[in-house]
């Protein structure tokens, strides 16, 4: 049975985010949760507010992943939010994502770092056996 999950991987002064899933959509969603986990525990983020992100014409899934993660980082910074639940839908080169989260509460979330942006370093979106993997290094 395929289990969606995320993880971090080391990369010099920055950090890698990696999402796994049965589909590219699940892998993208897990990579977005890995972004939150760079800052705080995903389990500490309540789904109090909802927002949508729509992107298209990235050229391929890898470029779309970077665009998506940068859109999530933008929303985190501008809205002062963290996201604990993410759903992604892909149709060709178009992405629509639903994100649920809440505003940062420094006392409860204890933010460790600020994610500045997703990069093309170690960028990969590919199927590996039964799982899809979506990964890149993020600048912190």
- φ and ψ of 54, to 5 deg: -130, 130
What is the extent of the structural domain holding 36?
5-139
**In Å, what is the CA distance from 41 to each residue of 24, 35, 72, 104?**
24, 10, 17, 12
**How many folded domains does the chain comprise?**
1
> Residues 28-81: pLDDT tens digits?
999 999 999 999 999 999 999 999 999 987 779 999 999 999 999 999 999 999
pTM for the predicted model, two decimal places: 0.91
> Residues 108-125: pLDDT tens digits?
999 988 999 999 999 999
Residue 85 has pLDDT above 70, yes or no: yes
CATH classification at residue 121: 3.55.10.10
Share of the chain above pLDDT 90, in %: 81
């Amino acid at each position: 049975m395929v289990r969606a999950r995320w993880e971090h991987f080391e990369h010099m002064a920055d950090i890698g985010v990696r999402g796994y899933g049965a589909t590219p959509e699940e892998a993208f969603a897990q990579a977005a949760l890995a972004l939150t986990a760079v800052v705080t525990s995903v389990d500490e983020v309540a789904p109090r507010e909802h927002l949508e992100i729509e992107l298209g014409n990235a050229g391929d899934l890898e470029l779309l992943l970077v665009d998506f993660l940068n859109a999530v980082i933008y929303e985190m910074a501008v809205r002062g939010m963290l996201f604990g639940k993410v759903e992604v839908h892909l149709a060709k080169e178009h992405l629509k994502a639903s994100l649920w989260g809440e505003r940062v509460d420094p006392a409860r979330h204890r933010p460790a770092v600020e994610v500045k942006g997703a990069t093309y370093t170690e960028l990969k979106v590919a199927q590996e056996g039964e799982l899809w993997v979506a990964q890149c290094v993020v600048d912190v």
